[in-house]
Chains A and B, each alone.
Chain A
Amino acid sequence: MNSFPWLTVLLIVPAVAAVVVMAVPRRFATVAKQITLAVTLVEFGLALLATIAYEPSRAGFQFAQKYSWIRQFGVSYSVGADGISLVLILLATLLVPVVVLASWDEVAGPAQAGAGGADVVSRRSVSAFFALLLALEVGMIGVFAATDVFLFYVFFEAMLIPMYFLIGSYGAVKEQAQRSYAAVKFLLYSLFGGLLMLAAVIGLYVVSADQLGTGTFDFATLRQLDITPGVQKLLFLGFFIAFAIKAPLFPFHTWLPDAGAQSPTGGAILLVGVLDKVGTFGLIRYCIPLFPDASSYFAPMVLALAVVGIFYGALLAIGQRDMKRLVAYTSLAHFGFIAMGTFALTSQGGTGAVLYMVNHGLSTGLLFLVVGFLVTRRGSRDVSAYGGMAKVTPVLAGVFLIAGLSSLALPGLNSFVSEFLVLAGTFTRYRALAIVATCGIVLAAIYILYLFQRTMTGPLVHEQAKGVLDLSVREKIVVAPVVALIIALGVYPKPLIDIIRPTVTATFEDAGHTDPAPSVPVNAAPVNASQAGGHS
């Protein structure tokens, strides 16, 4: 089973589908949707099969394939999966069909558009929207699957273009200026970071050419290089700033609320749920193994930024009136936790961070879904446009509550496990920091419960909201798998942890970061402690 080129197939299928869907004429918009849904479901099925075929105990990359692409630069088409990338690919392939179904009616084709003046505004190509989603899926899978730094960079940058068009062309309908602004800001921030990374990528190539005779971009080979500390620090910064913008970490985050607020619902889910994970993924996949000395050197700085982000994001989230911006700011706080777990440089913290990436994708994805449903119903992102909605839309309110509780890491739901692991992993090395960060959880409870209270509970504030419909069957199908996973992973996270942990442990050990010995004798190894968080 392992000789099957899973990753290449995963890349080719949506790429071909994107071209096909793009070519579907406007009249057959429904066909375009159906093709997209079918393809993305097949993708998820393939990713699941790949996960079953994956052997967690084996070291190194699996399903690896390597073909020379640009020989002169030592670039190859080289893909492979380890525990970290596999779970993120799984997350991406899961969220895309969810997004496709959620966006089913959001992009109105010419047929549905009203006559006259409204026609111009809503005359957007339906097939182009779904083709962009498929192109984005190619980029997301590629960026996680690439084991060649050049190929990674190519996907990293190429992925921006479909997202840029999703925000700019299909974002908030009435706010043309803000929409363009958000799209451009997103693109330029990411491009700027990407170009800094390109400098570091070229630097890495030149170092490898100096040491090996011929330059290479092969990740496994680059790991073996012995880079002098000074050079390591510079290259680390090149990669780190790109990832910190992408993730985003404080203070590189200002594009996120704009992009999150202006994106179409589906775009926002993929943006925050998966695209931003590329940043945190890059930290643990590239920064730490390639530049171990620099990672240790800069770890305190990163941790400080992470903790600032946890509080800053939470405080700003509390103050938001725009629901999408609010969710975007909560993500800033969550990314702080992920970065903290990563740069605590303990296997427990790292495992927690990777699990956190998956969980955050689920919980924030669900939050954006629910907010998106609300916005399509009432046409406003403003918190004050809601109030007492639980009376008219009880199911929606219930889903909202689950998403919110997951986001604030209620024990029994998925995020709790990862947050616990991150904090426990950080505690073994940086006690004070872990204690401070734990207080951030309280703020999380404030912003989520305050939002829920203002929008859902109490008497119905707006008379017009009375006619608002509860979740349709389609919308229930959309949220069902995510809700199920949120609960399932809260109760039994072991399958994912089993995949993630060996890779994270190996990554840190290769980079020379051994877990600190526990200062207080404990009976269980840290690994078992992680499972204790599972409430199984």
Chain B
Amino acid sequence: MSAAPTAVLGQQLLAQDVLTQSTRGTIDVPSIQYGALSPIIIVFGVALAAVLIDAFAPAKARRTLQPLLAAGGFAAAFVAVVLLRGRRQILAAGAVAIDSPTLFMEGAILLFAFLAVLLVAERRLDSSGGAIVASAALTPGSPGATAARTSAGVQTEVYALMAFSVAGMLLFVSANTLLTMFVALEILSLPLYLLAGLARRRRLLSQEAAMKYFLLGAFSSAFFIYGLAFLYGYAGSVDLGRIADAAGTVGANDTYLYLGMALLGIGLFFKIGAAPFHSWTPDVYQGSPTPITAFMAAGTKVAAFGALLRVFYVAFGGLRWDWRPIVWTIAILTMVVGAVLALTQRDIKRMLAYSAIAHAGFLLTGLAAANSDGLRGSLFYLVAYGFTTIAAFGLVTMVRTSDGEASDLSQWQGLGRRSPTLAGIFAFLLLALAGIPLTSGFTGKFAVFQAAVAGHATPLVVVALVTSAIAAFFYVRVIVLMFFQEPATEGPIVVTRPTLTYAAVGVGAIVTLLLGVAPQPLLDLAGTAAASGFVR
């Protein structure tokens, strides 16, 4: 299971070599500042160590060792990010850039990964332990698969896969050349495809999700690399800064530039789940094990947005008059599709998936602002949304029937009467997603919308506000179900003992409240990061 990512890593090292030759001309040994790369290196180290532990440690030890290693590794990498604050340079022969926005997003990814590990490591929810199936390769319906559903044997490769994915995310947001970015994209995506297929219950749905995610993801990667080729042909370099320089000069073949930009954009818009490239989101979010869904919704979104912001601000910064109309269109489409289709959902995970799409649209208004305030707003929004969504998915794992999570909305009826605290927290998170004041959701929305109005995108903001009103309806509908309706006689049971899940949900909910009431520190951080901007 862990062979594939390792192969990818080798491929990445190879790519580094190619890159060095292409940018330098001669084969020098590039000076690599390991200190500045330490967050990425730590997480890669954790991933490799996790593979080794999985191979050699006894089964019982693995179950405690692996989560501890992953959580500890992410925490250590986060400390490294904090220690690197203020650094602003281009490293590893131009392949990787470290600057304030990058570090901000790396920190966010690591925090979300840490919380996701808590959710994944929870073993008290399912009677047979954990949300992850032991043998994912078995055909659903076969005797072995049925046994695996209730088997207490738990494999721990999920932590290695997560660590690889996180390492890819960290590299993705800090990639300074398109080639590094592509490699990082693959490192983050391939483990995710596998992770999507690991759900213990509803195996068929989970495998379908993995397959769909893989096929569509492969397509989007192809678009990305096709765009990369065009841009290389245009600028003679895959370096983001050089592409920007070339785009600033007159006379070059602009067709390549625009084609490259469009194709690259498709690859990135796919990853953030923007319409019309969103169709994988609901299926994958629904089919994946819920802790993994939480991880994807928070972590992948930051990573993909990080890359998107860097590409559009650094490489295409001078072309903003060309790409703004496109970003406008995609933002509007994404918001409308997300909000309107969410109205019709009957499954809580699918509803949250469409909500994620709508939020991607709101985030794009920050990009459409194309100013430093927009960058600040996007950074803040990503953190705010990530914490809220992890907490929300974490809560979803706790509402269960005897046959796994009660993900059908009708099963949530009257939950507020049965377990008021849990339902109250979920209602609060929904209000945050809807953007009610005194929650982080409102502050985030305000930050991006204010930047967009200042950036002369007022019509976009008006559309965003109208879709916010539409979106409010389906969040409110869940509250109505939970609080205003009588519980069904055969309602779901809320599991009350999951300490780790409670911890993750609690952290998410508290941060959601804090960022609504006292957003100043994080806004300061995001503001400073945005003001210093991406390094070129």
A interface residues, Cβ below 8 angstroms from B: 69-73, 120-121, 123, 125, 128, 153-155, 157-158, 160-161, 164-165, 168-169, 176, 179-180, 183-184, 187-188, 191-192, 195-196, 198-199, 202-203, 205-206, 209, 215
Which residues from A are CB-within-8-Å of B453?
A: 199, 202-203, 205-206
- Choose among A72, A120, A128 the residue with the greatest number of B CB atoms under 10 Å from its CB: A72
Bound CA span A153–B486, Å: 33
In chain B, positions 404-459 with a C-beta closer than 8 Å to chain A are 416-417, 420, 431, 434, 436-438, 442-443, 446-447, 449-450, 453-454, 458
Question: B476 at the A/B interface (Cβ < 8 Å)?
Answer: yes
The answer to whether B465 and A195 touch across the interface, beta carbons within 8 angstroms, is: yes
Stretch of B170-178, B274-282, B301-309, B467-475 that contacts chain A: B467-475
Given contacts A72-B523, A188-B472, A195-B466, could you give 4 more A-B pairs where the C-beta distance is less than 8 Å? A73-B446, A176-B486, A187-B472, A199-B453
Closest-by-CB residue of A relative to B436 is: A157
The answer to whether A176 touches B465 (Cβ under 8 A) is no
Q: Judge whether A70 and B523 touch: CB under 8 Å.
A: yes
Instruction: Rank and list the top 6 A-B pairs by shortest CB-CB distance, nearest first.
Output: A154-B437, A195-B465, A168-B484, A180-B484, A192-B469, A157-B437
Taken together as a complex, chains A and B put the C-alpha atoms of A187 and B523 apart, in Å, by 29
Check if A72 sits within 8 Å of B484, measured CB to CB: no
Is B499's beta carbon under 8 Å from chain A? no
Q: Is the CB of A71 within 8 A of B520?
A: yes
Residue of A nearest to B487 (CB): A120
**Bound-complex Cα distance A56 to B431 (A):** 40
- A-side contacts of B436, CB under 8 Å: 157-158, 160-161
Q: A168-B480, A180-B480, A206-B454 are in contact. Are A153 and B417 (CB under 8 A)?
A: no
Query: Are B473 and A188 in contact (CB-based, < 8 A)?
Result: yes
- With a cutoff of 8 Å between Cβ atoms, the chain A residues found around residue B50 in the complex are none
State whether A203 and B469 are in contact (beta carbons under 8 Å apart), knowing that A73-B446, A168-B480 are contacts in the complex.
no
Roughly how many angstroms separate A71 CA and B522 CA in the complex, as a whole number? Answer: 12
Closest residue on chain A to residue B452 by CB atoms: A202
Q: A70-B519, A183-B480, A184-B477 are in contact. Are A158 and B469 (CB under 8 A)?
A: no
Of A155, A161, A169, A202, the contact of B446 (CB 8 Å cutoff) = A202
Q: Is B502 an interface residue (CB 8 A)?
A: no
CA distance A120 to B461 in the complex (A): 44
Give which listed residue, B446, B466, B469, B483, contacts A188 with CB less than 8 A: B469
Residues in B neighbouring A155, C-beta threshold 8 A:
437
Shortest B383–chain A CB gap in Å is 15
Q: B450–A73 contact, CB under 8 A?
A: yes
Please determine whether A158 and B454 come into contact, CB atoms closer than 8 angstroms.
no
A contact residues around B487 at 8 Å (CB): 120
- Quick one: closest A residue to B520, CB to CB? A70
Q: How far is the CB of A114 from chain B (nearest CB, A)?
A: 15
Q: Are A120 and B469 in contact (CB under 8 A)?
A: no
A53 to chain B, nearest CB (A): 30
Q: How far is the CA of A176 from the CA of B483 in the complex (A)?
A: 11
Cα distance, A235 to B524, chains bound together (Å): 29
B21: chain A residues at CB < 8 Å are none
Q: Is B532 an interface residue (CB 8 A)?
A: no
Given that A70-B523, A192-B469 are contacting pairs, would A120 and B486 also be in contact in the complex, using a CB cutoff of 8 Å?
Answer: yes
Can you list 30 A-B pairs, Cβ within 8 angstroms, ordered by A? A70-B519, A70-B520, A70-B523, A71-B524, A72-B376, A72-B523, A72-B527, A73-B447, A120-B486, A120-B487, A123-B417, A128-B420, A165-B483, A168-B484, A180-B484, A180-B485, A183-B480, A188-B473, A191-B434, A191-B469, A192-B469, A195-B469, A196-B465, A198-B465, A199-B453, A202-B449, A202-B453, A203-B458, A205-B450, A209-B454
In the assembled complex, the CB of A172 is this many whole angstroms from the nearest CB of chain B, namely 11
Query: Which residues does B use to contact A, with CB under 8 Å?
Result: 376, 416-417, 420, 431, 434, 436-438, 442-443, 446-447, 449-450, 453-454, 458, 461-462, 465-466, 468-469, 472-473, 476-477, 479-480, 483-487, 519-520, 523-524, 527
Q: Knowing A72-B524, A120-B486, say if A199 contacts B461 (CB, 8 Å).
A: yes
Please give me the residue from chain A that is nearest to B456 by CB atom. A206
Residues on the A chain within 8 Å of B446, using CB: 73, 198, 202
Give the distance to chain A from B50, nearest Cβ to Cβ, in Å.
Answer: 40
CA gap between A191 and B485 in the complex, in Å: 22
Residue numbers in A under 8 Å from B416 (CB-CB): 169
Q: Which residues of A contact B520 (CB under 8 A)?
A: 69-72
Contacts of A125 in B (CB 8 A): 420
Cα–Cα, bound, A188→B471 (Å):
10
Distance of A140 from chain B, by nearest CB (Å): 15
Inter-chain CA distance A268–B468, complex, in Å, is 27
Q: Which residue of B lies closest to A198 (CB)?
A: B465
Which residues in A have their C-beta under 8 angstroms from that of B485? 176, 180
A175 to chain B, nearest CB (A): 11
**In contact, A191 and B472 (Cβ under 8 angstroms):** yes
Instruction: Tell me whether A169 and B461 are in contact (CB under 8 A).
Output: no
A183 touches B484 (CB 8 A): yes
Residues of B within 8 A of A71 (CB): 520, 524
CA gap between A123 and B484 in the complex, in Å:
12
A165 to B376, CA, bound (A): 35
A149 to chain B, nearest CB (A): 12
Contact A121 B523 (CB under 8 A): no
What residue in chain A is nearest B438 (Cβ atoms)?
A158
**CB-nearest residue of chain B relative to A72?**
B523
**What residues of A have a CB within 8 angstroms of the CB of B420 in the complex?**
125, 128
Return the chain A residue nearest B414 by Cβ. Answer: A120
CB-defined contacts of A184 to chain B, threshold 8 Å: 473, 476-477, 480
Q: How far is the CB of A164 from chain B (nearest CB, A)?
A: 8
Nearest-neighbour CB distance to chain B for A378, whole angstroms, equals 25
CA distance A272 to B443 in the complex (A): 30
> From residue A155, how far is it (CB to closest CB) to chain B in Å?
8
A195 to B445, CA, bound (A): 11
Say how far B270's CB is from chain A's closest CB, in angstroms: 29
Chain A residues positioned under 8 Å from B454 (CB to CB): 206, 209
Distance between B431 CB and nearest chain A CB, rounded to angstroms: 7
Residue of B376, B431, B466, B484 near A161 (CB, 8 A) is B431
B484 engages A176 (CB within 8 Å): yes
What CA separation (Å) do A284 and B523 show in the bound complex? 34
| CA of A292 to CA of B438, assembled, Å | 31
Residues on B with C-beta less than 8 A from A120 are 417, 486-487
In the docked arrangement, what's the CA distance between A154 and B416, Å? 26
Chain B nearest CB: distance from A483 CB in Å? 35
CB contacts (< 8 Å) of A180 on chain B: these are 480, 484-485
Residues of A within 8 Å of B442, CB to CB, are 154, 157
**Given known A-B contacts A168-B484, A184-B477, A199 and B462 have beta carbons under 8 A apart:** yes
A contact residues around B458 at 8 Å (CB): 199, 203
Task: Write out the residue numbers on chain A whose beta carbons fall within 8 Å of the beta carbon of B434.
Answer: 191
| Cβ-closest chain A residue relative to B420 | A125
Query: In the complex where A188-B469, A203-B458 touch, is A169 in contact with B484 (Cβ < 8 A)?
Result: yes
> Is B483 in contact with A168, judged by CB distance below 8 angstroms?
yes
A176 vs chain B, min Cβ distance (A): 6
C-alpha gap A161/B431 in the complex (Å): 9
Contacts of A176 in B (CB 8 A): 484-486
Q: Which of B437, B468, B519, B523 contacts A153 (CB 8 A)?
A: B437
The answer for the CA separation of A195 and B442 in the assembled complex, in Å, is 11
The smallest beta-carbon distance between A19 and chain B, in angstroms, is 13
Return A37 CB to nearest CB of chain B, in Å: 24
Rounded to whole Å, the gap between the CB of B262 and the closest CB of chain A is 31
**B483 — which chain A residues lie within 8 A by C-beta?**
165, 168-169
A327 to B461 Cα, complex, angstroms:
38
Q: Whole-angstrom distance between the alpha carbons of A188 and B480 in the complex?
A: 13
In the complex, which residue of chain A has the Cβ closest to the Cβ of B485?
Answer: A176
Q: Smallest CB–CB gap between B449 and chain A, Å?
A: 6
Distance in angstroms between the alpha carbons of A206 and B452 in the assembled complex: 10
- In the assembled complex, which residues on chain B have CB atoms less than 8 Å from the CB atom of A179? 484
By beta carbon, the residue of chain A nearest B469 is: A192
Choice from A154, A196, A199 contacting B438 with Cβ under 8 Å:
A154
CA distance A188 to B476 in the complex (A): 9
B442 CB to closest chain A CB (Å) equals 8
Q: Give Cα A334–Cα B9 distance, bound, in whole angstroms.
A: 73
B366 to nearest A CB, angstroms?
A: 13
